[in-house]
Amino acid sequence: MALASPHVTAAAVAAVEYPDLVRQYRVTGVPKTVINGRVEILGAVPEAAFVSQVVESVA
């Protein structure tokens, strides 16, 4: 998605190395996706549903 839009940045965060972020975003399982620090998606999601949630997070 970051490649498809100049407005999107995407980071993979190694949970074990950043316990402060794990606490901040209440990560209890992986993968967990956090969009703009507030919208949360748990688990792996099919592409179409994932893109929808990302786009709708700023709609």
Partner 1 sequence: MDARTPADLEAALADLAAPVKLLFFTRTFGCDTCGSARRIVDSIASLSDRVTVEEFNLVLDKDEVRDYGIRRAPAIAVVGEADTGIRFYGAPDGHELVSLIDAIALVASRDSGLSGESRARLAEVEQPIDIQVFVTPT
Q: Which residues bind partner 1 (CB under 8 A)?
A: 1-18, 21-22, 25, 27, 30-37, 47-48, 51-52, 54-55, 57-58
Shortest distance, position 1 Cβ to partner 1, whole Å = 6
List the structure tokens of 44. Answer: 């792996």
Q: How far is the CB of 23 from partner 1 (least distance, A)?
A: 12
Q: How far is the CB of 40 from partner 1 (least distance, A)?
A: 10
Per-residue CA distances from 36 to 4, 8, 25 (Å): 18, 10, 11
